[in-house]
Each structure stands twice: as structure tokens, then as C-alpha cells.
Amino acid sequence: MSETPATTPKNFIFEAVEEDLRTGRFSYVRTRFPPEPNGYLHIGHAKAICIDFGVAEAFGGECNLRFDDTNPVKEDVEYVEAIKEDIRWLGFDWGDREYYASDYFEQLYEFALLLIQKGKAYVDDLSPEQIREYRGTLTEPGKESPYRNRSVEENLDLFRRMRNGEFPEGSRVLRAKIDMTSGNLNMRDPVMYRIIHRPHHRTGDRWHIYPMYDFAHGQCDSIEGVTHSLCDLAYEDHRPLYDWFLDELGIFHSRQIEFARLNLSYTILSKRYLKELVENGYVSGWDDPRMPTLRGLRRRGYTPEAIRNFIEQVGVAKNENLIDIALLEHAVRDDLNLRALRVMGVLDPVRVVILNYPEGQVEELEAINNPEDPAAGTRKVPFSREIYIERDDFREVPPPKYFRLAPGREVRLRYGYIIKCVNVVKNDQTGEIEEIHCTYDPQTRGGYAPDGRKVQGTIHWVSIPHALDAEVRMYDRLFTVPNPSKVEDGKTFLDYLNPNSLRILSGCKVEPSLTKARPGDHYQFERKGFFCVDPDSSADHLVFNLTVPLRDTWAKIEVKQKGD
């Protein structure tokens, strides 16, 4: 294997894998990404995906996709396709290695039989409540079940009949016979199989018993020849059990390594909570652009590259973490800055009339599509006597350091002319500014001042007769606190929902080149932010989602001024 230290991320997992190869514990590398098909993938999963596929790739190995479908009560095919789609979108390929834990049900059953024969597993008739009581507590040892010492023959017979569906749900389970006094609760005779009379999305009604995670995962890894089974810290306590099953069965022994899951500030990454948001209508669905799901991020305008870069920057360790969402936002700005075409869009329009500009005249001005990418070329933008500008780009009483338009002041219209405000027309009743009257300097076409005079401010604009109407959905973080999963007593994460996480702007005006915008296209509205065309968008009703705003230095200055 060739060394690529510059591109190979260095973390404790890579080091462990490297060591395993060096010491000969394994001669190849194979990992797996094991989603349960009971929900949609979120950015936390993206971390796991990047690690699972990344480790395999770095060592010339492969990563299997294996659906962990051992519980027909919770799982559904609906999620399988969505999960595959999201992984592909993120940019990973599992080739033809698409597996299901349910593919191995027969083999797992044989494994169970083997353990029963070895006297290492037994059928228990205790009720779920009794099992809990017998388990003991964190500080007190458990008690052995009265059914623990059944004969091998009786266990075999009972277990076969469990499989045949002869017993009601909850009446019996198969348990491993380990140690009811272990300090690790997972070792106190864990349940291996439970009875569930429910059709499975892949095996139909063939089974009446289903293996628990602990009895399935390690053996599936083993069957697939997975060398490194990378998972969440939560499974650290399960590793002794993972190892125990593999050792007792005497089969290929994968190595489980745990790392800390991703936590993101101002959001939640718990499947249960996300589901609650969707089901109770706090968001419009799993793909709501405010959701940290991959579908949500995609619709919001995040790119796979941005997400992968973000994950790489976050690193891999075992520390509990809360990643600043600003890092994610930085990653997407960084990526979009290089590729998004620039356009002009006025979100909160106010009319400007250029008094000395000939009525009916239209000029096609040249605008650069992307200053970061000369290959993106230029386009023509129509200019006329009446234009829209951003309401906030005009102040009757300009505060200090305000560079934009104000009575008697000049400002440059991007790629247009330098204009000067000469008058303001206000609504008699409301006092709201309805129209701003300006004059333009014909010598400044394109925005250049031949006399070399400095014009500090440059603002965006859209020609009124040529403007396209658009709806713009402005998104903000979903929660008002950095860590919504850690709440005050008596409150829930729902109490911290940001009421302003979505603001719909309906009267927006955008330049005519946007007629060719298609759902999924990324744009930068100059001076405002990166936007993405929503799937709801159509030719006669453009809809844009704010992906992330541009850094806004003026907003900072203004906040500071107000604080003084």
C-alpha cells in the first residue's frame, strides 16, 4: 500500500487499523456502514459514513452497506431506498455489496443452536418485567433466572417451537448464559432472540423470532469478513459481549472500535426528536431545509463536498463534542464561493427612479458570473430608468460608517452607474419610503468613475420592467440555544424552537437571467447569500432557499453601534 500522509487523515482509528495490518491481525481492511432502515440519514450519519468508507478507501479496502433490519416492528422498505440515495448523493459507492442482517437470519439461527448445544444459551420463560427485576441495578448484581439451567434438549425444543410461532410474543426469549453478577449489565444474560409475530419487510412471515442487535451485529460482521466494525461510543459497553459471541462461536473475529458521535450546536441529531418535529408539524417534513437530515441539507443547498469537508475538519476522537454550526456554514460558503454563479436579487425592494435617465431606454450591461472563476464568463443585465434596490441600502439619516445611499450621497450600482439621491417620496399616511429619486452620472457606465473619484458603496439592483418575481425562504437555525438536548427541568427541546427559523419573503425581485434557474441550482445573490432553487419552484413561480448568508460586516458594525 502506498503512503499518502498528506491526504490520509490521522486519527486513532487509522492508527489502530495501521497497527492491525502491521502486526498481521488482519491482512486486508473491510468496514461496513450499518443503518437501521427506520428513519432518514442525518449529518451525524454522514460522519459515520465518511469514517466507514474513508477508512476502507485509505487502506485499499472496501466498505459494505448493511441494513440492520432485525426489528420488523420499527423498520420499513420506505427508508431503504432513501438511505441508499443519500449515501450515493454524499459521494460513496458500495458497489454490489448491499447486504441485510435479515440475509443472515438462517445462519444466525444456526449460531444460536450452537450456543444452546454448548450450554451457553437458554430459553427463559420470565416475563419482561421479571427479566428486568432479575437483572439487578447498576450497583446491585442480578439474580439467575429459574429457567437458566434447563437441559440442552429442552432448550433446543423450546427454541425450535419459538421459531415455529407456537408461543405468544413476550412469553419467552433466548438468552445467553454469561454472568448475572457482572458489573457490565450487557453481560447479565442478554436476550438473543425475542418472539415477534409481525411480517418483516424482507423475510415476510418466515420468522416468528428475531435476533437482538447484540446477537446479530458481530456475527454479521464476521460473516462478511468485516475487519473493523466502527461504531458509536454508546457501544463501548457492548464490546465485551460482541467479543464473547464471536469467541464462543469460534468464528472470524472482527474488531469493534468506537468513536464519538457528532453533535451540532443549535440543532438536534436524535432520530426520535427529529421524528417528533416532522410528525407534529414543526417542520414540513424530513426534507425541510431546516432539518439536519441529508435530504434537508440538500434541499437547503448544501453540497456533498461541503459536508464531506466539514466532516473532515471536525476530526475523529472519543471526546464528547458539540461542534459549532458556524463550522458547517463555513464549509458550505467555502465550497459555494468557488462554484455558485453570482446574480442580483432584491429581497426587500424599494423603487428608485433615475430622473435624468431617458425614459424607455434600456442598456445591456456586462456582469461577471463568478469572480472566483473566470471560466464562468459574463452575462448581460438590463438597466433602465426605474430599478429596485434593497430597502436597507437607503437611509434617510445614515449612521456613521454607512456607505450606502442617503440623501445627497452617491453610491455605485453594481456593473451599472454611479447614482446620487436627490429626493425621497414618502407615503402620507404611513411615512414609509415609497420611492427614491436619483440622478445618474452618464460618465460612469459599468461603475467606473473616469475622474477617479472614490465611491465607497456598491449596491445591487434589478431593473423594474425586467424583474422577475420570486419567493425567497429565509432560514435560520432551528433552535435558540446551543444545546437543545440539554434543557432546564420541566422543559423539552420543543421549548427552544426558534420561532423565526423560517421567514417567507414573497415580493422579491430577481434579474431576468434567472428564468433558466432549475431546482437544485446554486446561486449567490450578491451581497446577500447563497441560495438554492427549491423543488417547489416553477417557471411562473420562482422559489429560492437561503442556504447560508454571506458574512455581513456592516451588520456587525451596526450591532456594535447600537450597543454603544
Partner RNA sequence: UGGGGCGUGGUGCAAUGGCAGCACACCAGACUUUGGAUCUGUGGAUCUUGGUUCGAGUCCGAGCGCCCCAGCCA
Restricted to residues 317-346, the positions that interact with RNA (CB under 7 A) are: 317-324, 326-327, 330, 333-334, 337, 342
Asked if 237 interacts with RNA (CB under 7 A), we say: yes
For RNA, the closer of residues 288 and 531 by Cβ is 531
Q: Closest approach of Cβ 212 to RNA, in Å?
A: 4
Measured CA to CA, the distance from residue 66 to residue 103 in angstroms comes to 10
Query: 421: closest CA among 362, 355, 363, 344?
Result: 355
Measured CA to CA, the distance from residue 162 to residue 199 in angstroms comes to 15
Q: Closest approach of Cβ 383 to RNA, in Å?
A: 12
Q: Closest approach of Cβ 564 to RNA, in Å?
A: 11
Asked if 551 interacts with RNA (CB under 7 A), we say: yes
Our answer to whether residue 385 is catalytic in this structure is no
Q: By CB under 7 A, which span of 106-114, 308-316, 348-356, 515-523 interacts with RNA?
A: 308-316
Q: Cα 447 to the chain's mean position, in Å?
A: 41
* Subset of residues 105 to 134 that bind RNA, contact rule: CB under 7 A: 126-128, 131-132
Q: Number of residues in contact with RNA, rule: CB under 7 A?
A: 91
DSSP collapsed to 3 states, 64-129: EEEECCCCCCCCCHHHHHHHHHHHHHHCCCCCCCEEEHHHHHHHHHHHHHHHHHCCCEEEECCCHH
Sketch the per residue contact string, 243 through 282, with RNA: x for CB under 7 A, - otherwise: -----------------x----------------------
Residue position matching grid coordinates 459521494: 91
For RNA, the closer of residues 133 and 153 by Cβ is 133
Q: Closest approach of Cβ 48 to RNA, in Å?
A: 11
For RNA, the closer of residues 16 and 284 by Cβ is 16
- DSSP element (H, E) containing 440: strand 433-440
* Subset of residues 429 to 488 that bind RNA, contact rule: CB under 7 A: 446-448, 457-459
For RNA, the closer of residues 121 and 126 by Cβ is 126
Asked if 363 interacts with RNA (CB under 7 A), we say: no
Our answer to whether residue 261 is catalytic in this structure is yes
Q: Which of 135, 160, 261, 380 is catalytic?
A: 261
Measured CA to CA, the distance from residue 386 to residue 380 in angstroms comes to 17
Q: By CB under 7 A, which span of 45-53, 143-151, 210-218, 498-506 interacts with RNA?
A: 210-218
Burial class (CB in 10 A: 0-12, 13-18, 19+), 273: middle
Q: Which of 161, 271, 380, 445 is catalytic?
A: 271
Sketch the per residue contact string, 61 through 80, with RNA: x for CB under 7 A, - otherwise: -------x-xx-xx------
Per DSSP, the three-state class of 407 is strand
Residue position matching grid coordinates 430459553: 123
Measured CA to CA, the distance from residue 274 to residue 286 in angstroms comes to 8
Q: Cα 87 to the chain's mean position, in Å?
A: 11
- DSSP element (H, E) containing 327: helix 325-339
Our answer to whether residue 290 is catalytic in this structure is no
Q: By CB under 7 A, which span of 199-207, 230-238, 286-294, 428-436 interacts with RNA?
A: 230-238
* Subset of residues 2 to 41 that bind RNA, contact rule: CB under 7 A: 10-12, 15, 34, 36
Asked if 382 interacts with RNA (CB under 7 A), we say: no
Measured CA to CA, the distance from residue 14 to residue 247 in angstroms comes to 25
Q: By CB under 7 A, which span of 146-154, 295-303, 524-532, 537-545 interacts with RNA?
A: 524-532
Q: Closest approach of Cβ 427 to RNA, in Å?
A: 25
Asked if 195 interacts with RNA (CB under 7 A), we say: yes
- DSSP character for 21? H
61: left (phi over 0), alpha (psi -120 to 50) or beta: beta
Question: How crowded is residue 183: how many other Cβ atoms within 10 Å of its Cβ?
Answer: 10
Query: 216: closest CA among 120, 104, 98?
Result: 104
Active site residues: 36, 261, 271
